[in-house]
Amino acid sequence: MARFYRTPIVAGIVIALVLCFAPQVLATDISDIGFVDQSALGQLGPFVSAQQQFAQFQQSLAQQFQAAIKGKSPAQQQQIYQSFNSQAAAKQRALFGPLLGRAQAAIASVAANRGLSVVVDKTIVIYGGLDITQDVISMLNQPGPVLPPVNSPPPSEVGYVDQTQIDTLPKVKKANDDFLSFRQTLAAQLAAQSKGKSDAQRAQLAQSLNSQLDDEQKKVLQPVIDSTNAAISSVAKQKHLLLVIDATNRVYGGTDVTSDVVKALQ
C-alpha cells in the first residue's frame, strides 16, 4: 500500500560533518549549551493526537490512490502520486505546524530564561549540557499561547551546517550520484547472479560485492568527505567555534556557518 509524505530518510551516502572542539576548554566554555529530548515532546497528547489523525488520513489517501491509478499508465500513475503526496504534505503541515511552532517558542523561552545560547537534540549529547526537556514540557502543558523571547539568542561558539546545501554542490552531487549508480549496478548484479544459488553461495557473492562497494566508496566519496571536513574545520577555527554540528541536530540558537563552508568548497 502506498504511503504518502513520511519523514524523509536519506537513501544515499551523506557527507560526514566534523566535530571540532578544544577539550581543555569544553568544561568551562560550553556551560551555556542545553539539550532537549524531542522524542519526549512527541509523546505529549497534542502530538500523539496529530500523529493518529495523520495516520488515518494517510490510510484513507492510500485507498483513494489505489483506486485512482487503476488502468492508468506509469506516467499517469506518477502524476497522480505527486498530487496525492502534495495533499499529504499539506495535511501534515496543517496538523503539525502549529504544534511545532508552539514547541519551538517554548524551547526558545526556556533557553532565554536559562541563559542558553544554543539548544541541541538530546540524541547527540554524550556528556554535559543542561537538560531543559521537563521545563519545556511544563510550559507546553500550560494553557494559553506560548510567547517566544523578545531578544535573539546570544552569539554561540557552537556552529551548525545545513548539509542539504552542501549536497547540492556540483562535485558533492556528482560523487553521491556516481556512488549511487555504482551501488544500483551491484544490486542488479547480485540479484541476477544469485538465481539458483544456495544460501551459502549467495552470502559469499554478497560479501564479494560489498567489498567492491566499500572500495568504490573510498575511491569516490572519501575525497569529498575529506575536503568537506577540512573546510568545516577551517571555518570553525576562523570563527573560533568549539564545535560544529549538523543543522538537523540544532534546536535553537547556534552560529550558522553553512554559507562559509559552501564558499570554502567552491
Instruction: From first to last of the 266 residues of the chain, give the pLDDT tens digit.
Output: 444 443 332 333 344 444 444 443 444 445 789 999 999 999 999 999 999 999 999 999 999 999 999 998 888 988 999 999 999 999 999 999 999 999 999 999 999 999 999 999 999 988 888 999 999 999 999 999 998 898 888 888 899 999 999 999 999 999 999 998 988 888 888 888 888 889 888 889 889 888 998 999 999 999 999 999 999 999 999 999 988 999 999 999 999 999 999 999 98
17 part of a folded domain: yes
Report yes or no on 120 lying in a domain.
no
* Residue 23, pLDDT score: 40
Q: Is residue 125 domain-resident?
A: no
Distance CA 243, CA 19 (A): 5
Which residues fall within 8 angstroms of residue 126, CB to CB, at 6 or more apart? Answer: none
Residue 235 lies in a domain: yes
pLDDT of 34 reads 93
Contact predicate 41/103, CB 8 Å: yes
Residue 165 lies in a domain: yes
**Which CATH number fits the domain that encloses residue 220?**
3.30.910.20
State residue 30's pLDDT score: 58
Cα–Cα distance, 244 to 235 (Å, whole number): 10
Residue 250 lies in a domain: yes
Report whether 136 contacts 107 (CB < 8 A): yes
- Pick from 111, 110, 98, 112: nearest CA to 145: 98
Domain that holds residue 217: 13-29+157-266
Of 86, 78, 79, the closest CA to residue 61 belongs to 86
Indicate whether 211 belongs to any domain. yes
What's the whole-model pTM score? 0.75
Instruction: Tell me if residue 178 falls in helix, strand or coil.
Output: helix
Does 262 map to a domain? yes
Q: How many CB atoms lie within 10 A of CB 214?
A: 10
CA atoms within 13 A on the CB side of 160: 20
Query: How many distinct structural domains can be found in the chain?
Result: 1
